[in-house]
Structure 1
Amino acid sequence: MFTPLTVAVAVAALALAAWCGLAAYRDQPTKDWHFAGMAVVTVLALAQLVVGIVQLSRGRDADGGSVIFVSYLLGCAAAVPGVGFLSLAERTRWGSATVAAGAVVLAVLQVRLYDVWGGGGA
């Protein structure tokens, strides 16, 4: 796996979580700028999905198993768009809180994805 991309996704997800968490604290729904941030994080997660699939197709295997690795990649790619759609349905502060929670989940998934690939040194 490409570790700098994994770190970039995690950092971008945590920045999005902080930004949307602040909006929830201020009693604001998600706004257009939040969706732009979600798009950036989603593009990074999709790039990670492509890199992971390419690594597997080149014959490299994940220590935790290829099926679990691909499952985590797909979950990472779907985490932020999923909560983004939920925040459209909930146009209150809880929509922003949902995006913040989903972004934290994405950051945690990055740590687990790193471990499944074999970077954790277990």
Structure 2
Amino acid sequence: MLVALTIATAVAALVLAAWCGLAFSRDQSTKDWHFIGMAVVTLLALVQLVVGVVRLARGEKPEQGTVIFVAYLLGAALCVPAAGLMSLTERTRWGSMTVVAGGVVLAVLEVRLYDIWGG
């Protein structure tokens, strides 16, 4: 995996989580700006998904298995959009908290992806 991309995705996810955590502490739901942030983080995760699939297609193998690696890649690409969708259905401060959870989960998944690849 590209270490810089993994770090950038994890940091962006944590920044998004902190930003939505601030909205939660101010008793605010997610706003349009938060969704733009979610789109940026999701784009990074999708780029990582493509890079991971390309590296697998070139014959490179993760240390801990291809199936688990692909499962983590898919989970990483989907966790922030899923949190964003849930925040749309919960238009209170708790919607912001779901995005906080999604951002933290993505950051943890990034660390695990690094480990699975053999970092």
Above 0.5 in TM-score? Answer: yes
Give the C-alpha shift of residue 108 in structure 1. Answer: 0.4
Q: TM-score, normalised by structure 1?
A: 0.97
Counterparts of 2:113 and 2:82 in 1: how far apart (Å)? 19
Structure 1 segments (4+ residues) deviating >3 Å: none
Counterparts of 1:115 and 1:84 in 2: how far apart (Å)? 27
* Counterparts of residues 1-122 of structure 1 (less than 5 Å): 1-119=1-119
One-letter amino acid of the structure 2 residue matched with residue 85 of structure 1: L
Give the C-alpha shift of residue 87 in structure 1. Answer: 0.1
Counterparts of 2:38 and 2:58 in 1: how far apart (Å)? 30
After superposition, the C-alpha distances for 1:44-74 in whole angstroms (9 at most, x for unaligned) are 0000000000000000000010000000000
Counterparts of 1:117 and 1:95 in 2: how far apart (Å)? 33
One-letter amino acid of the structure 1 residue matched with residue 6 of structure 2: T
Counterparts of 1:83 and 1:108 in 2: how far apart (Å)? 15
Counterparts of 1:27 and 1:63 in 2: how far apart (Å)? 44
Q: TM-score, normalised by structure 2?
A: 0.99
After superposition, the C-alpha distances for 1:65-87 in whole angstroms (9 at most, x for unaligned) are 00000000000000000000000
Percent identity between matched residues is 71
SS in 2 for 1:100: helix
Counterparts of 1:27 and 1:13 in 2: how far apart (Å)? 21
Give the C-alpha shift of residue 20 in structure 1. Answer: 0.2
- Count of aligned positions: 119
One-letter amino acid of the structure 1 residue matched with residue 110 of structure 2: Q
Structure 1: gaps (5+ residues): none
Counterparts of 1:97 and 1:25 in 2: how far apart (Å)? 9
Counterparts of 1:76 and 1:12 in 2: how far apart (Å)? 13
SS in 2 for 1:63: coil
Q: Calculate the aligned-residue CA RMSD, in Å.
A: 0.3
